[in-house]
Amino acid sequence: MAERIFESEYRFCLILWRYEPIASGELVKRCAEELGWKPTTTYTVIKRLSERGIVKNEHSVVTSLVSKEDVQDDDMDDLIEKRFEGSVPAFLAAFTRREKLSDEEFRQLSDLIERFRKGDS
């Protein structure tokens, strides 16, 4: 996915991913409840994301064309490239300086690294 999703759009997409496929009127209602948006704001975001190929609005039913995981992967790649010069170890070092890992989290990371090493990502 090459198209950047901004923070407010991401919050909108979190709602969409949770309920899709969803009627646009119901999505407007949920965005009002969860984000405090006016109907015009939600319809504008639907239109903008539709034009960018991120969502589809067909017969007033909205569905995503990109997954939450794809968006998160792109954001992570962008963060690591911009702030850590493309170095995953530098990112992990910075993260672990701020966050103490539990034994379980450490085990999960170790398992993930081992699966990646074996090519089972």
Residue 66 DSSP label? S
15-53: pLDDT as tens digits: 999 999 999 999 999 999 999 999 999 999 999 999 999
Decide if pLDDT at 2 tops 60: no
Give residue 83's domain range: 69-118
* CA-based max dimension of the chain: 50
Q: Kindly state whether residue 90 falls inside one of the protein's structural domains.
A: yes
DSSP SS3 for 60 = coil
Do 61 and 12 share a structural domain?
Answer: yes
Report whether pLDDT(4) > 90. no
pLDDT of residue 117: 87
The percent of residues in the chain predicted with pLDDT above 70, rounded, is 96
Question: 36 and 73 share a domain?
Answer: no
Total structural domains in the chain?
Answer: 2
Nearest to 22 by CA among 56, 52, 47, 53: 56
Residues 28 and 52 in one domain: yes
Mark whether 75 and 98 lie in a shared domain. yes
Phi, psi of 5 (to 5 degrees): -110, 125
DSSP 62: E
- 5-15 pLDDT per residue, tens: 999 999 999 99
The mean pLDDT value for 73-90 works out to: 91
Token match 């103490």: residue? 100
Q: Give the single-character DSSP code of 102.
A: P
What local confidence, expressed as pLDDT, does residue 118 receive?
87
Q: Does 56 lie in the same domain as 21?
A: yes
- 41 and 92, same structural domain? no
- The pLDDT confidence band at residue 121, using thresholds 50, 70 and 90, is low
Inside any domain, residue 12: yes
Task: Kindly report whether the global pTM for this prediction surpasses the value 0.85.
Answer: no
Asked if 29 contacts 22 with a C-beta cutoff of 8 angstroms, the reply is no
